[in-house]
Every structure is written in structure tokens, then in C-alpha cells.
Amino acid sequence: MSVYQAGLHSAKPPFTFQPSFWEPLAKDVLSANAWGYLHGNAGAGTSYQNNPSAFKHFSMMPRRTCQSLLNPRGQETLPDVSVTVFGEKLPFPVAMAPIGVQKIFDLEGESGAARGGASVGIPYILSTASSASIEEVSSAMDEVSPTARRWYQLYWPSRQHDDITISLLGRAKRAGYTVLFVTLDTYMLGWRPSDMDNGYNPFLHPDRIGVEIGLTDPAFRAHFKNEHGYGIEETNQQHHHHHTGTSSDKNKGGLGPAAREWAKIIFPGHPHTWDDIKFLKQHWDGPIVLKGIQDVEDAGKAKECGVQGIVFSNHGGRQMDGGLSSLATLPGIVRAVGDEMEIFFDSGIRCGADIIKALALGAKCVLVGRPYAYGLALGGGTVSRTFCGPCAETCS
């Protein structure tokens, strides 16, 4: 708002107000690897491309001189866009989508992004595939506002690793995260040609980008030691010959073996069953939201399971090619379960009008994804405009 007002007095803003420009600008400052990961999507990209096109199929019809639309608080001239989610009032119907390994976009990574959200009252959803720990991000948010809302996204380990799931949920609870988002569409990573062309998987480079990616978790550390006969610290030098990679494997040594093990656990390769949701309810005492629902029957099943919400999402087109846009099928879902659950929406939100359309079609709140990561790449505190990413050595 202050930037907007300064603009009325001819001051140039420190960023462009045209969100469609953020994407090409971010491409310019990111390494090819980081850009490929952030912008990339599944297969030939049809699910990805369908997301923005769907917004064009809906247009808004404004109403005029509507007394009932005036802000009831009298003097204020700005409309009240707040929304109540799980009994808490948010200033905007917006939260920050979980996005993994954000240190490849900016050295401050998740902490920088979460601080930005906290400073304007926007909840931050921390990914299980983060490059900063659960506790670290929470402390960063506390610096801005101890009451800032923090939510946790779970990539759900297979049931044989329940101890790790319980550990992650316990840590999130203790660190002040209040809502659990369980992502159901990523039990394995999508077929992403841009990452494959780059020969790049950010989850396997923890030491190059200085990330933690859950390697601090005590249950995971115990599992690793049990499995390999040595601890994660020891992987650094002495034991890299133990892991099974070939000699051409770029990830050998360092934290590579631990990162590979972690990726195997959080992307276990097979889906959970609806019955497994009971286990999560036993170990999380706040609201649970299932992320990645698209089908009406699945939304009905989510409701039967007694979870409090869903994120209607196609994962930004990153998981499955040849799918529908996320927006197209939103109205049907809202008709089916909208009265009983909180409906979040994501995939393709690029500007304010998109948010209004998603809300008009029945979503309660939207998650913004790639656009804030573009912003992090462009405006993040510690990275120069010409940076080649913290993994500079390996960038092409």
C-alpha cells in the first residue's frame, strides 16, 4: 500500500506491479537448474497450461451502488477482504503454498519467504521438502510476529516409517504450526522434463545448497544410522564409499546418501489408503487439510474421513500431465462438500482478479505458489541480481 501511495506522488516502485513480468525477470536471475525446477512441470505441460487458460473462461460481473457492499466500519474506504478460516481471521483470503527447497531461489530460503508473509499477516505453509528446518522457519517468523500463522505441509512417509511421521508432526506442533496440510498427489515425483534435461534433482544436493531437508529430524537420523551402520554426520567424509551410487554419480559423498534416503522416505512410491487418515488424526490435534484433491468423489471421501478441509489443486501441473485445470472443476466440488469443509484452491493464481474468481466459484482461501517464489528470487535479501544460485559450482 505504501509503495502504491508513493507511486501516486511519482515515486518509482522497487519492483514491477505487473505480476506477469516476475516470471521472465526471475528466469534472468536464477540458475538454469533452479529455474528449471521452479517453472518446470509434468510431461508436455498440458495440465500446467490449462491452469491459466481456465481463468480466462470465467469473467466477473460487477454490481454498482450496492449499499450492502459498503464497508460496515464506516470511514474506511478499502473493502474488507478478510476471511475466517478454522475460526481465525486472516486479513486476506490468501496463504503461501508449500514450495520445497527455497534456498535454491535465495539464500534465505523458506525463512525469508515466511518472514515476508508474516509481515503482512499471510499464513506460510512450510513444506516437508524444505531447505530450512521446521524450528528455524518458525523462529524467523517470530522475529517478525510471534502470532504469525504457520501451517505445516506433510509429505507423508509410508506406514512402515510412522515413527518419522510422528516425529515430524510433533516437531511442527511444538514449533507452533497449527494446521496440517497433507499432500496426496506426490507419493512419487512427477515426470518433469526440465529437471531431467538438467540432470538436476534439488532434493539430492543438500551440501551444495547448504540445506537441511529434514536431515535434522531425530527419528530420521536414527533410521539412517540403523540402516547404514553410521550416522549422517559421518557420511561427510569417511563413509561415502558405503553408498550404492556409481562412480559417475554426482551426489556421492557429502550428505548425498542421507538426502537420497530422505527422498525415498517422503516420496515412498505408493499411495496411502483412506483408512490411513485415521492415523494422522490420532497424531495431529489441529485441523487437517488434504492437498491435491481434484475428483468430486475423492472430496466426498475426504469429508467422510472427517478432515476439516481440502486444497483443490493439480500441484501447479507438476505432477500429472494431461489433466484438467484446477479451476474448471472447482464449482462441482464446492456444490458437493463446500458446506462441510474449508475449500482452499491453488494452481494458476497469478493476480488479484484470479483470487476473486476462485472465491466467486466457492473457494474460501487461495494458495499462491510460483509468483511468491519469483518474488523471493528477485527481491530476496541476501542474493545479488546476477547470482547463479547458491549451487553455483554445478550450474551450467
CB of 135 to ligand FNR, least distance (A): 18
* Residue 335, helix vs strand vs coil: helix
Of the candidate residues 109, 116, 348, 389, the single one contacting ligand FNR (CB under 6 A): 348
CB of 228 to ligand FNR, least distance (A): 25
291 touches ligand FNR by CB under 6 A: yes
- Residues 36-55, one symbol each (x = binds ligand FNR by CB under 6 A, - = not), give -xx-----------------
Task: Looking at residues 355 to 374 of the shown chain, list those that interact with ligand FNR (rule: CB under 6 A).
Answer: 369-370
Is 153 known as a binding-site position? Answer: yes
Looking at the Cβ atoms of 42 and 97, the one nearer to ligand FNR is: 97
Is 192 known as a binding-site position? Answer: yes
CB of 327 to ligand FNR, least distance (A): 11
Is 369 known as a binding-site position? Answer: yes
Which residue carries 511444538 as its cell?
174
Q: What angle do CA 196, 200, 203 make, to 5 degrees?
A: 120
How many of the other CB atoms lie within 10 Å of CB of 340? 14
Is 64 known as a binding-site position? Answer: no
Of the candidate residues 43, 98, 123, 190, the single one contacting ligand FNR (CB under 6 A): 98
Is 230 known as a binding-site position? Answer: no
Looking at the Cβ atoms of 70 and 188, the one nearer to ligand FNR is: 188
Which window, 276-284, 295-303, 346-354, 385-393, contacts ligand FNR (CB under 6 A)? 346-354
CB of 96 to ligand FNR, least distance (A): 9
Looking at the Cβ atoms of 195 and 261, the one nearer to ligand FNR is: 195
Rounded Cα distance between 386 and 199, Å, is 23
- The answer to whether 258 touches 215, Cβ cutoff 8 Å, is yes
- Residues 294-333, one symbol each (x = binds ligand FNR by CB under 6 A, - = not), give -------------------x-xx-x---------------
Rounded Cα distance between 196 and 198, Å, is 5
C-alpha cell at position 384: 545479488
CB of 218 to ligand FNR, least distance (A): 21
| Rg of the chain over all Cα atoms, to the nearest angstrom | 21
205 touches ligand FNR by CB under 6 A: no
Which window, 9-17, 78-86, 91-99, 374-382, contacts ligand FNR (CB under 6 A)? 91-99
Based on the residue annotation, tell me whether 315 is a catalytic residue of this protein.
Answer: yes
C-alpha cell at position 330: 472447482
Q: Please count the residues of this chain forming the interface with ligand FNR, following the rule CB under 6 A.
A: 21
183 touches ligand FNR by CB under 6 A: yes
C-alpha cell at position 96: 503461501
Nearest to 329, CA basis, from 293, 365, 366, 289: 293
- Chain-centre distance for alpha carbon 145: 21
The residues, any chain, with a CB within 8 Å of residue 122's CB and separated by 6 or more, are 90, 91, 92, 94, 95, 96
Task: Specify the DSSP class assigned to residue 203.
Answer: G
Candidates 39, 161, 205, 315; catalytic one: 315
- The answer to whether 189 touches 218, Cβ cutoff 8 Å, is no
Is 150 known as a binding-site position? Answer: no
Task: Looking at residues 100 to 159 of the shown chain, list those that interact with ligand FNR (rule: CB under 6 A).
Answer: 100, 127, 129, 153
Residues placed in the known binding site for glyoxylate = 37, 155, 192, 315, 318
Q: Which residues are catalytic?
A: 315
Residues placed in the known binding site for FMN = 98-100, 127, 153, 183, 291, 313, 346-350, 369-370
Residues forming the site for ligand FNR (CB under 6 A): 37-38, 97-100, 127, 129, 153, 183, 291, 313, 315-316, 318, 346-349, 369-370
